[in-house]
Amino acid sequence: MKVTRFEDLECWKESRILVQRVYEITKNKAFGKDLRFSGQIQAAAISCMANIAEGFIRRSDKEFTQFLFIAMSSAAEVQSHLYVAVDLGYIDKTQFDEAYEQARKCAMMISALLKYLRKTY
């Protein structure tokens, strides 16, 4: 299948799910007391999704690669923030595991796309 839109990229689809998961867990009362932190984890998730789209639209594999590295870094940032959230009792272990796994899945898919792009240029 030829990818013609960023919406066709599996890593973008998975990052969209990550954003949804992060927003679900930040709706709880514990997060409501910490708006700055809530905003940070939300921004990191959105950054993952947005950088995939922004890089894709550049139409250059080299630029796309740079944006994919940023997206992968944002997924790692979400994972790190999740540790803070569970340590502070904002989320439980199950919520942590589900969101962490989604961020890991995004990062792995981005990494696979990076490997493919490196072979093409």
21 within 8 A of 99, measured Cβ to Cβ: yes
26 within 8 A of 41, measured Cβ to Cβ: yes
Give the type of residue at 44.
A
Give φ, ψ of 8 to 5 degrees.
-80, -15
Model confidence pLDDT, tens digit, residues 39-72: 999 999 999 999 999 999 997 889 999 999 999 9
Instruction: Answer whether CATH 1.20.1440.60 is correct for domain 6-120.
Output: yes
Q: What is the pTM of this model?
A: 0.94
Pick the more confident residue, 60 or 10.
10
| DSSP 8-state code for residue 41 | H
Domain ranges of the chain: 6-120
